[in-house]
Structure 1
Amino acid sequence: MHKQQSGFFLVREEILPEAIKKTIRVKEMLKRGEARTINEAVEKMELSRSAYYKYKDFVFPFYEASRDKIVTLTLLLDHKQGVLSRVLNTISADSGSVLTINQGIPLQGVANATVSIETADLAVDLEALLDKLRMVEGVKRLEVLGQA
């Protein structure tokens, strides 16, 4: 008999069943201290305790899944002095550790870059860092290429 391996998938929130969305919100409420007990949180979310316990160990926000990982980003950068430096400084400012950098030759005013980051010591959630990087002047596009 072939044992099926479980895997991880990135799924947009809007297609998740209501019970899973509520489970995620209950976990966030508990983490933020908006509810003192599981009972209080599930009651506020109008979720049964059994549904919470069924899903709680299987759903988590993307940034939690990315904790203590190596995340590889691909960026499209304006070919202007200092853009890559600002990207690296932004990562460093939030205690991200840059492991590798690969930048292609600029073509038509833009350059592709790939940056691998160790997330173990990040001072912010990965999603917050990605938002900051997207705001860096000269960053045209940023995507998560993969994580290990």
Structure 2
Amino acid sequence: MNPLGKGQFYLVREDVLTESMQKMLEAKRLLASGEERTIQEATKRVGLSRSAYYKYRDTVFPFESIARERILTIFIQLEDRQGSLATILQIISDARCNVLTIHQTIPVQGRANITLSLDVTEMPIKMDEFMQRMKAPNFIDSVHLISSGAL
């Protein structure tokens, strides 16, 4: 009998995981990123047996993969140009973010403000890279992170 109870969860540092568990997590990452297409290819690349992969795949997860949805709110100041909002939304879509709310002010003297709330749960890039992409168009004056966090 398990004194801790079946189905109990623990948060542990990576360095205390067995080598097989660490390799299984790397194989999962390779599959999720598309670097490898099959479990056989991924396990071979990391030096892990498929049986060990199957043993741990449904019980060991990176912390980020079990975190709840992440919400990001950003404030953008921009030059009002035709198609600017469409460009911003394309950047967001390319980063696999989901727009939850959007508010755009009426342009005054050729400038407008946009406040966006985004679900960034599926975003595969780091936050600093995402912010750089948002600042890249030449009509953007500034992009500010207002808040971020879990639901």
Calculate the TM-score normalised by the size of structure 1.
0.53
Query: What residue is the counterpart of 1:76 in the other structure?
Result: 77
Per the TM alignment, residue 74 of structure 1 is displaced from its structure 2 partner at its CA by 0.2
- The Cα shift of 1:131 comes to 0.3
2:87 corresponds to: 86
Q: Which runs of 4+ in 1 moved over 6 A?
A: none
Counterparts of 1:143 and 1:128, CA distance in 2:
14
- What number of residue pairs does the alignment pair up? 83
How far apart are the structure 2 equivalents of 1:82 and 1:112?
15
Q: Could you tell me how far apart the structure 2 residues matched to 1:97 and 1:112 are? A: 19
Structure 2: runs of 5+ lacking an equivalent: 1-67
> What's the CA shift for 1:69?
1.3
The aligned counterpart of 1:127 is 128
Identify unmatched segments of 5+ residues in structure 1: 1-66
Cα RMSD, aligned residues only: 1.7
Aligned to 1:114: 115
**Residue 105 (structure 1) aligned with residue 132 (structure 2):** no
Identity fraction in percent: 28
Cα deviation 1:105-130 (Å, max 9, x = unaligned): 10111001101111100021121111
CA-to-aligned-CA distance 1:51-90 (integer Å, 9 cap, x gap): xxxxxxxxxxxxxxxx941010000011110111101100
* TM-score, normalised relative to structure 2: 0.52
